[in-house]
Amino acid sequence: MRLDKFLVKCNIGSRSEVKAYIKKGLIRIGDAVASKADADIDENNDEVYYRGERLIYKEFTYIILNKPSGVVTARTDNLDKTVMDLIDPLPAKDLSPVGRLDKDTTGLLIITNDGDLSHRMLSPKKHVDKTYLVKPEHSLSDDDIRRLCEGLDIGDDKPTLPAKAVLNEDGSLLLTIHEGRFHQVKRMLEAVDNRVISLKRVSFGGLVLPEDLKEGDWRELTEDEIQKIILR
């Protein structure tokens, strides 16, 4: 890979900025100060330093965010704070949320620049599990649970696919769905004459929201976590 491309991918600056860093002698490859932006480097093995700090090349970046209520799942928005505003500074370029949570929904959101992974996790054909903790307005009956599990008419062309619904002792519901229709959980609750009071995504594609990740906090996924979602 060209040195300037590598430096841009490591997110230390734009193409013109990294060229200026090279000119200023701020980049080293091993012990040698780099002088050419088009130098060919081995991105996985060469030791490249910026102001003395080793740069590690990662093809993709994967972030887990515990989304708070009141922020929108978008890259930019004219009115509202976005999930991307919570990640400051952004550790990589071209990051986007994988799917969407409503403004008032909290919980697990993945943000990545791995477009293929994003596509696979959202593909209706892949039936990736998403589990939500739902606080309903009224208590749910056995019949409501049965209907939620079997699939029900929420006003679309087709009924929802079979889901898994587990009622907790406190009356909240753990609902696992394999689709991602618009406002799906809210519309499923409405279809059983109920209403969602609060909604939190607690797992997505085998990843569980870590208990120690507070609302508004984020971190990069560990290698194990990445493998878990990639190998699905």
Interacting residue with ligand URA among 10, 18, 109, 199 (CB under 6 A): 199
For position 183 contacting ligand URA by CB under 6 A, the verdict is yes
For position 146 contacting ligand URA by CB under 6 A, the verdict is no
Contact window for ligand URA (CB under 6 A) among 15-23, 98-106, 143-151, 223-231: 98-106
Of residues 21 and 132, the one with the C-beta less far from ligand URA: 132
Of residues 148 and 185, the one with the C-beta less far from ligand URA: 185
Paired sense of beta strands 62-67 and 218-220, if any: antiparallel
**Is 138 in contact with 194 (CB distance < 8 Å)?**
yes
Q: How big is the CA angle at 188 (ends 109 and 192), to the nearest 5 degrees?
A: 150
Interacting residue with ligand URA among 18, 98, 185, 209 (CB under 6 A): 185
For residue 131, the minimal CB distance to ligand URA (Å) is 11
Of residues 105 and 160, the one with the C-beta less far from ligand URA: 105
**Is 180 in contact with 98 (CB distance < 8 Å)?**
no
Contact window for ligand URA (CB under 6 A) among 26-34, 46-54, 140-148, 179-187: 179-187
For position 105 contacting ligand URA by CB under 6 A, the verdict is yes
Judge whether 102 counts as a catalytic residue: yes
Of residues 138 and 183, the one with the C-beta less far from ligand URA: 183
For position 194 contacting ligand URA by CB under 6 A, the verdict is no
For position 83 contacting ligand URA by CB under 6 A, the verdict is no
Contact window for ligand URA (CB under 6 A) among 2-10, 46-54, 181-189, 203-211: 181-189
Query: For residue 159, which amino acid is it?
Result: P
The residues of the shown chain that bind ligand URA, judged by CB under 6 A, are 101-102, 105, 183-186, 199
